Amino acid sequence: MTQLPPPSDVKLGLVIDLDTCVGCHACVTACKGWNTENYGAPLSDTDPYGAEPSGTFLNRIHSYEVQPEDGAAQLVHFPKSCLHCEDAPCVTVCPTGASYKRAEDGIVLVNESACIGCGLCAWACPYGAREKDPAEGVMKKCTLCVDRIYNENLPEEDRVPACVRTCPAGARHFGDLGDPGSDVSRLVAERGGIDLMPEQGTKPVNQYLPPRPKDTDLDVLAPLLAPVAETPQGFLGWLDKTLSKLPGSAQ
């Protein structure tokens, strides 16, 4: 079994805003595009033009309906990828040491050359965030674009994960959640960011910002409009009076 390093000061991760995510899947294909081309083996697709297309993705969007007791049903879009947990069970379960958590920034990675594709890590992950690539026979997961975020061949502003760079709604944020003063940490504090399934004890680094309440105060709190007229004639009378109070009137 594989050991976790001591907790790092730097905890790189994502903050995902569920109030803003429109479920467009931009992060899904940007991730697929970058990662099939870069870290490790390509992300394969089986039967890509056939009856049961099935490919390896490191990031997927799920959509859930919520039916409040009162009021209209809601739809929440929920992007899901590895949460780079502090107590990552996928690492400790790994029989070969292929799964590991980086000591310097907390990113959880798979060393593909050591991976035997046994799938124990996928079984151990409570979030379903790992997939076995059938072509390569190795476990695949979000790398937090470790080959982007430090990449000196990229302009500095592009040294963020591909999903964050592409997100059209700005619902994905990247940064150091170990630094309470970082932008992402402040966002989590302001918006009440939450751990996903805290009862699992995995201490996920990634945080989710909950959707704001919906369909709430439109009706109740605000005064309705007071009529100035009920009829067209009344409206004209009001108009005359109102206009005569404005500057520039000849009346």
Q: How far is the CB of 105 from other proteins (least distance, A)?
A: 10
Q: For other proteins, give the closer residue by CB, 1 or 198.
A: 1
Site for other proteins in 75-114 (CB under 8 A): 75-77, 100, 102-103, 109, 111, 113-114
For the chain, the C-alpha Rg in angstroms (whole number) is 26
Minimal CA–CA distance to 170: which of 32, 31, 19? 19
Q: How far is the CB of 198 from other proteins (least distance, A)?
A: 25
Site for other proteins in 144-183 (CB under 8 A): 146-147, 149-154, 157, 162, 165-171
Site for other proteins in 8-27 (CB under 8 A): 17, 19-26
Among 95, 116, 137, 235, binds other proteins (CB under 8 A): 235
Q: How far is the CB of 201 from other proteins (least distance, A)?
A: 22
| Dist CA 236 CA 250 (whole Å) | 17
Minimal CA–CA distance to 88: which of 213, 219, 202? 202
Please say whether the beta carbons of 84 and 70 come within 8 A.
no
Q: For other proteins, give the closer residue by CB, 47 or 198.
A: 47
Segments in 48-149 forming alpha helices (H): 89-92, 120-124, 146-149
- Sorted by sequence, the CB contacts under 8 Å of residue 165 that are 6+ apart come out as 30, 158
Q: How far is the CB of 199 from other proteins (least distance, A)?
A: 27
